Homo-oligomer: A and B are copies of this chain.
């Protein structure tokens, strides 16, 4: 994936965040909610972090590109969990998370971990 424009990246982040919100709300309506508990938790974290990433990029924050590293991490975790379930909202969420993770991967800057 090539380096994307900010606007394309922001749209991927918002799409992922909205899909996670929808997935969490739908998981809470499922008959076997217990099976969805981990999915609900990850959806929430992923939504929070992707919305925040979109905002940092839109305001040209100095930390925005490093933030994408975290964003990629939570998107991968959320995609992995959602892909274990066969509900339509989980399938869509896994797809949105994977696309967002790839976009974050292609655009992030390293963080000094010392």
Contacts and interface: CB of A to CB of B under 8 A. Distances in A.
A111 B44 CA distance: 20
A21 B55 contact: yes
Q: How large is the interface on A (under 10, 10 to 19, 20 to 34, 35 or more residues)?
A: 35 or more
A40 B66 contact: no
A51 B55 contact: yes
Q: How many subunits of this chain does the assembly comprise?
A: 4
A29 interface: yes
B62 A77 contact: yes
Interface of A: 10, 14, 17-18, 21-22, 24-25, 28-29, 31-34, 36-37, 40-42, 44-45, 47-49, 51-52, 54-56, 58-63, 66-67, 69-70, 73-74, 77, 110-113
